[in-house]
Structure 1
């Protein structure tokens, strides 16, 4: 009996589009030709198509995650000059590449003067996390606090908190370039409290932990925040001259 199945390219394209199988739609003709030429069985042919689609979806998700993270440029640890800083624990930073700190809901604090590569390292870990499927957000401390305070003034702070809780890796860059008043400090403390043992923070700062009362309103406030931050935390201290003025 003659088959009544419609195998026309247009019909196949419509079905693949309906189920959003973008990569199979692009590659199935070449895969058919490969299967015929190499005498590949039906199961292997099907697996090859599914693997093509899975890889395509993974790459699109990575692109989506990186775009949503709002990085200030894309950095990698392979592109970092570990020989330039006067003092840096490369092995400790390389250990962070496993991303086990994210699985364990641990924090990373990178401390050092301007220009020694703190932001580079933070972004590199964030990009790697995006590639592994984690939701990441990169923001400067000033921008982050201003956004939270604006939400507070607009009465939308709860919804902002809810969105931030979905972020698995929150990267706060340049903490310490301004001092918070009590209202902003209170909002920031709520973020730290909500993320405690529930999500990872990566913070870069040029202020030693003992001087964090210069960021917050008092030593008491700084201690309350640090108590939660450093309980499960990787502290990375970097010293040296600024890479930005290297050679000048």
Structure 2
């Protein structure tokens, strides 16, 4: 590269930085080399550069959304063992993975004993939403309600609920292990009521619906929550053995 080419190259890089085109900036010379090898015309070369930037922006957005979601583990739908959990309707889960339920402001409720894959499926659906550029928050039920109770004490609950309403998909994990008092029950009802027909929820629980009065203070409170939660919902009931226990037994037997 001669002196004039160096000057031009530096100016191009300056402008790419100025206009915040980092992927073209990083791969400019590489793409020039490919264009020369393939004898690309100017339009085709420009198109390729723009595709490089588009793909880079999508990947950065995906990583950002996944980080902001606070998943406990990074699980994907493609990694779910449908052969082990035969009670899970694979076509139904793959349909949910298309995210049509998000567009329709519908909920997903995953019910089943510990270890059968509820959190895996909920996380996998959340990851799909992140890849589509949607905002997601994954929260353990006990930790979420403790936090919202603290917000109530500090006088910031209203602002926090408004912020949660902006999240496209809220995932509440392990609801069955939560035992609410009147205060938390009221907060939870506000959370569900605000998202009703506006934004989607995914809830995982080990308790069947006829035992939700164990979570809330009475049957009436449980019914009020279930009424809104289930009105526009996909209920996935999972039975069978714990995947984690089965895996551990395999390890012991193979040892």
Q: TM-score, normalised by structure 1?
A: 0.94
Cross-structure match for 1:210: 210
Cross-structure match for 1:73: 73
Q: Deviations over 1:112-136 (max 9, x none)?
A: 0111110011001111111111111
Structure 1 residue ranges without an equivalent (≥5)? none
**Distance (whole Å) between structure 2 residues aligned to residue 96 and residue 79 of structure 1:** 15
**Distance (whole Å) between structure 2 residues aligned to residue 191 and residue 71 of structure 1:** 20
2:112 paired with 1:133: no
Cross-structure match for 1:88: 88
**Distance (whole Å) between structure 1 residues aligned to residue 24 and residue 88 of structure 2:** 47
Q: Residues 86 and 241 of structure 1 are in contact (CA less than 8 Å); yes or no, is this contact kept in structure 2?
A: no
Structure 2 residue ranges without an equivalent (≥5)? 250-255
Q: CA RMSD in A?
A: 1.7
**Distance (whole Å) between structure 1 residues aligned to residue 37 and residue 81 of structure 2:** 48
2:221 paired with 1:221: yes
**Distance (whole Å) between structure 2 residues aligned to residue 95 and residue 10 of structure 1:** 49
2:30 paired with 1:30: yes
**Distance (whole Å) between structure 1 residues aligned to residue 64 and residue 167 of structure 2:** 14
**Distance (whole Å) between structure 2 residues aligned to residue 105 and residue 90 of structure 1:** 22
Q: TM-score, normalised by structure 2?
A: 0.91
CA drift of 1:214 comes to 0.7
Cross-structure match for 1:235: 235
Cross-structure match for 1:179: 179
Cross-structure match for 1:189: 189
CA drift of 1:64 comes to 0.3
Question: 4+ residue runs of structure 1 moved beyond 6 angstroms?
Answer: none
